[in-house]
Amino acid sequence: MLLIRNGYMIDPGSGREGKLDILTEGDRILRIGPGLEAPGPGCQVIDAQGLFAAPGLVDVHVHFRDPGFPQKEDISTGAAAAARGGYTTVVMMANTNPPIDNRDTLRSVLEKGRGTGIHVYACANVTMGMRGKELVPMEELAQLGAVGFTDDGVALLDGDLARRAMECAAVLDMPISFHEEDPALIDNNGINRGKASAHFGIGGSPREAEIRLVERDLKLALETGADINIQHISARESVELVRRARAQAGNIHAEATPHHFALTEEAVIRYKTLAKMNPPLREEEDRLAIIRGLADGTIDIIATDHAPHTKEEKEKPITEAPSGIIGLETALPLAVTYLVEAGHLTMGQLLRLMSANPAKLYHLDAGYLAEGGPADIVLIDPGAEFIPESYASKSANTPFTGWKLRGRVVRTIAGGKTVYGGL
């Protein structure tokens, strides 16, 4: 048993918050209330004075590179990075090698995930081999444990195929997520077409590459009723398109990454390949539009798009280095610093974006604190300085190393067991 005392509990699912103690037994929460006493000498007591007690964070967009690229990350090290960042539940993307378009690969990654100490789920692909030609056996993969579908990493260009995929996902009542970048409009991806691309003397990725596909997929979602997630939104026009679509129906969802609400294309000029990502960092007006979208509920999920790469890969020239940065260990401090301390969100609103909302979309038993609910809890010191210097991830490809941020994960508890930290 575990008793967390004297913390300020925030449950973003119900909106309940206050000075409340939490008693767990096994992997569930037994009681929540003021002034709880330890039921016996075998109960571990944690004094959380001055800390927030919140549901373990939920990230529905991570790349653990397993199978296929273990030198970048594997499921074990990815889970360790997640735990250090306060995450107790993650959803792997399916662009592994081989991709998660078949029962054997899906079973393998889920089995590895069960040995990590946190809850590791996986999406299956939308199309076989991520080639955009033939749908995967969606019903079969759903029955085997996939929690959603995505070809993240590449765009699904065939509109008719996208419609059929949405129709199937709607029947299965499962989310389908879209990477929205039309390669026909892009010359050297990962860098915004504008000031950054001009600096490097390359073509770059124009905002229209995202806007075109966002517009198409929102229209299809409204017609099919599928729960869709517009992944890692980057352009202000895309935010406005989502805002209008959400006003029409409740099946429209969008996610923003910490790097897109914290950085602009100026960071690519400064940090070069460490700030190269798909979709790229854009202009200050886009960053502010994303923050407004998070504040007014247009964007209802914060996801990291944790994308580890080796040092050698990121040291290649700007046009050759792969896109992506790690994010699990810096996401919460960046969100506290740029959203809460900056006055855009309350801590409760932030936690809803980072736990309750993503868990609800993916039908996961996570993202809330309640008697009988999962004993997945993160203790956060919101005022503590956090300077990322080393990582539990195998990779360190991030521009945020050495930054002075606010908000530190003190302890992460998954299934009633401490998986990171202590007091």
The residues with which 161 forms a beta bridge, in sequence order, are: none
Higher model confidence: residue 196 or residue 41?
196
Tell me the average pLDDT across 240-251: 97
SS3 172: helix
**What pLDDT does 422 receive?**
67
Catalytic residues: 305
- Average pLDDT for 304-309: 98
Q: Which residue type sits at 340?
A: V
The helix/strand/coil state of 354 is helix
* DSSP notation for 80-148: HHHHHTTEEEEEE-S-SSS-S-SHHHHHHHHHHHTTSSSEEEEPBPSBGGG-SSSB--HHHHHHTT---
Token pair for 200 = 């490097």
The average pLDDT across 39-50 equals 95
Q: Over range 179-207, report the average pLDDT.
A: 97
Q: Tell me the two tokens of residue 367.
A: 């993202």
pLDDT at 418: 97
pLDDT tens digits, 106-160: 999 999 999 999 999 999 999 999 999 999 999 999 999 999 999 999 999 999 9
E strand or H helix at 420, and its extent?
Answer: strand 417-421
Cβ neighbours for 279, distance < 8 A, ≥ 6 positions apart: 180, 181, 205, 209, 210, 232, 234, 235
How would residue 231 be classed by pLDDT, with cut points 50, 70 and 90?
A: very high
Across the range 28-56, mean pLDDT stands at 96
Q: Please confirm whether the linkage preceding 206 is cis (ω < 30° from 0).
A: no
Angle between helices 236-246 and 208-224 (to 10 degrees): 10
Cβ pair 201, 225 in contact under 8 A = no
Structure pTM?
Answer: 0.97
Is the separation of the CB atoms in 289 and 276 below 8 Å?
Answer: no
Cα(258)–Cα(262) distance, rounded to whole angstroms? 6
Asked if residues 112 and 66 have their Cβ atoms less than 8 Å apart, the reply is yes
Q: What mean pLDDT is reported for the chain?
A: 97
Query: Using 50, 70 and 90 to split pLDDT, how confident is the model at 219?
Result: very high
Q: What's the average model confidence in pLDDT over 34-52? A: 95
For the chain, give me the number of helices (H) and strands (E)?
14, 18
Least Cα distance to 142 among 111, 113, 119, 174 occurs for: 174
Alpha helical stretches, state H, 180-235: 195-200, 208-224
194: tokens are: 């504008």
Q: pLDDT per residue over 401-423, tens digit each?
A: 999 999 999 999 999 999 999 65
* pLDDT tens, position by position, 339-388: 999 999 999 999 999 999 999 999 999 999 999 999 999 999 999 999 99
Strands 21-25, 28-33: pairing is: antiparallel
The confidence score (pLDDT) of residue 232 equals 98
* pLDDT score for 18: 97
Report d(CA 397, CA 394) in Å as an integer: 10
Mean local confidence (pLDDT), 50-72 = 98
Whether residue 211 is predicted with pLDDT greater than 60 in this model: the reply is yes
Percent of the chain with pLDDT over 70: 100
Mean pLDDT within 38-47: 94
